[in-house]
Amino acid sequence: MKLKVKLNKDIAFSSYLRNVINATHWPWLRKEFEGKIPLSLLNKAKIFSDPLTLRFSFEKHPLKDFEKYNSDFKDLAKRIEKVHNQEWRKYYKDLKEGEKNLKELIDKYGNFIIKTIPTITKNKWRFLEIWFIPVIYRGGTIFANKVLVGCNKRPKEKILSLLIHELFHVNEPPKEKVKRFTRDFKMPRDSREIATVLMTNKLIEKLNKKFKVNIPLQGFHDYFRKMIAKFKPELRKLAESKKSYIPLIKAVDDFLAKKGYRGYYSRYIR
C-alpha cells in the first residue's frame, strides 16, 4: 500500500464544484459558500446534482470529465471557477503547508496507520495506493482511493485525525455492500460517521502509545456533537466491545434509536 500526496488546482476545483452543486441539498455544505457564491447561482447549480455527483473523476479539470455536457453547465462551471480561483490564491500558502504536513505525517505514521486500520475494522484494503489531495473545504471526503483533505486554516494535528478518519472510510467495503448491510438501519449515515470517529480515536490512542506522542482525539461533528455529548462514555464502551466495522455501526444505530436520537446526515443521504 502506497500513500501519496498531490496538490493540484484542477482536482481541487473538482471538489469545490461538486460541493457547490450539492450545497442546497446538503446543509453542511451550504455554510461553505455563504457570502462567496450568490444564492441564485447555488439554486442554478443544484439541477446538476443528481446527474453529475458520482461522475467526477478527481483526476483532471472537471470540464474534461464533462466535455460533452451542455453549455449551461459549462457556463456555470466557469463562473464558479472564478470564485475558486480567488479562494485558491487566498489559501494557497495554507494548501502548500497542508501538502507539506500531509507528507510529513504520512512519512512518520503512515505505515502504522495502514497496518492498524484492518485490525480494527476486519476489512481488507481494496486499493494498492491512496492519494491525498489538499482542497478548500472545512472537512474531508473520499472517492474510491482519493482522499480530499480540507487544508485551509487546519492545524497539523487536526490534519492527522482527519487523515485517519478518512482512511477508515477508504477501508469500508464497497458502497453496495455497505448499503445492503445498513438498509434496515434507522440512521445509517449518522451511525457510520459516529462509529468512524470512535474507531479513529481507538487508533489515535494506539498511535499515541506507540510513538509516545499526545495527538488529541477527534471530536464529533458540530451537527450532532451537542446531541450526543452525554452519551460519549456509553459510545466509547460500544467501541471497545465491538471488534469489527459492521457490528459497531449496527450497535451505534441501535443505541441512538433507543436514546431517541433522530439523526442528522440520514435525513439527507441514506
The 10s digit of each residue's pLDDT in 84-117 is 999 999 999 999 999 999 999 999 999 999 999 9
Shared-domain flag, residues 86 and 158:
yes
Shared-domain flag, residues 244 and 160:
no
Of 170, 205, 225, which one is at a domain's C-terminal end? 170
CB 95 within 8 A of CB 134: yes
Q: What is the pTM of this model?
A: 0.92
Shared-domain flag, residues 159 and 191:
no
CB 198 within 8 A of CB 162: no
Of 149, 170, 191, which one is at a domain's C-terminal end? 170
CA–CA separation, 266 and 270 (whole Å): 6
Shared-domain flag, residues 29 and 92:
yes
Shared-domain flag, residues 129 and 252:
no
CB 168 within 8 A of CB 41: no
Q: What is the pLDDT of residue 84?
A: 97
Q: Three cell numbers at 62? A: 472537471
For 27-57, the pLDDT digits (tens) are 888 888 888 899 899 999 988 887 676 688 9
Domain containing 220: what range? 175-267
Read off the pLDDT of each residue in 208-212 and give the average, rounded to a whole number: 97
Residue of higher predicted confidence among 152 and 251 = 251
Per-residue pLDDT at 225 exceeds 80:
no
Per-residue pLDDT at 270 exceeds 60:
no
CB 1 within 8 A of CB 128: yes
CB 10 within 8 A of CB 61: yes
